[in-house]
Structure 1
């Protein structure tokens, strides 16, 4: 269980997050929605420890991780698929996947078969450089690299951005599969409401660094959700 309580985040004098709270549970997808520049990526940076929060707290599996460094959070089971993928273009697909070994004990340093089940194209391209892959294939590689870490909390920052429709469907199926395993909490940052609606169990809409609407799937008022997105 991830529990975020009233966190704030500043970049110098600019306040990127204001009193943001949300929760994510194993076997469920929490979707964070909103336009560009409203604080969605800043939220994920706070969750992985890339930027310290100025107030509030973050707990994961009953442990306060608010002040833990990024590496320690990764060892604790937090993985992120960043916006823009950030794969290593000069490393092969196999080498990119193995960069996910860093937080793992030596005995666990293998690539899970699920990675190739979800994204079979990666198995056929193990020797190709990451920079030679298409944008969609690079996104699959970035997700695969995160899964190598055996995360219990998976953070996805706009995985559909700039991706062709066929691979968007593959990514949607992968997220559904991971959710249904029941042992991983997923936070999905997304701009496309239709994609989020297919996958989400809980929805959070952000604007100007704050949460302006939140609901579960069962409580959703789609008109209110769309109004919040239009703010």
Structure 2
């Protein structure tokens, strides 16, 4: 389980996160919502080690990882699909997927069949360059690359951004399949409310670096959450 407690994060004198607490459990989707610039991506980058927290602690599977570097966290099963996808445009689809081999033991350096079951288009385009794919196909490739690492924590940062509706549905179905496996904790950062709400088990709303709503979706009122997002 991921357990973030009292996280502070500063960029110089500016405080991006203020005493933020977040938990994510295997078999559940934790959705982090909020307007642009409220700290969502900063929180995700802190979890995977790309930003250094200035207070609090990040615990994964019972061990503090706050002082670990990103590659050490990746080896412990953390993976992120970053906002903007960040695929390698000149590498083929197959080569992009193989970049996920880096944190794996040699025996595990192969592309799991599950990825092509989730996103069949990738199998048919293995020899095409990543930059030649549509935005939606690139997003599927970015998720596939993260899954190559065999993550136990999967962070998805704005996966529907700029994506056509048909592929948004495919991504939603893939998230449901991964949740149903029961061995992956999923953190979904999303501004598309209907998509996030439909998938969420747990919900957090950030505003100006602070959690203004947090808890199981079943305990929250949908209209109240929407109000916080529109303020």
Alignment TM-score, normalising by the size of structure 2 = 0.99
Whole-angstrom CA distance in 1 between matches of 2:106 and 2:199: 34
How do 1:1-231 residues align onto structure 2 when only pairs under 5 Å count? Answer: 1-231=1-231
Whole-angstrom CA distance in 2 between matches of 1:193 and 1:47: 23
* Paired residue secondary structure (1:5): strand
Residue 220 of structure 1 and its aligned partner are, at CA, apart by: 1.5
* Paired residue secondary structure (2:128): coil
Unpaired runs of 5+ residues, structure 1, are none
Q: Deviations over 1:162-199 (max 9, x none)?
A: 00000000000000000000000000000011001111
Residue 218 of structure 1 and its aligned partner are, at CA, apart by: 1.3
Q: Deviations over 1:82-140 (max 9, x none)?
A: 00000000000000000000000000001011100000000000000000000000000
| Consecutive aligned runs of 4 or more in structure 1 exceeding 3 Å deviation | none
Give the count of matched residue pairs.
231
Alignment TM-score, normalising by the size of structure 1 = 0.99
Q: Deviations over 1:61-85 (max 9, x none)?
A: 0010011000000000000000000
* Paired residue secondary structure (2:219): coil
Unpaired runs of 5+ residues, structure 2, are none
* Paired residue secondary structure (1:171): helix
Whole-angstrom CA distance in 1 between matches of 2:40 and 2:218: 23
Segment drifting more, 177-186 vs 214-223: 214-223
Provide the aligned C-alpha RMSD in A.
0.6
Whole-angstrom CA distance in 1 between matches of 2:103 and 2:215: 34
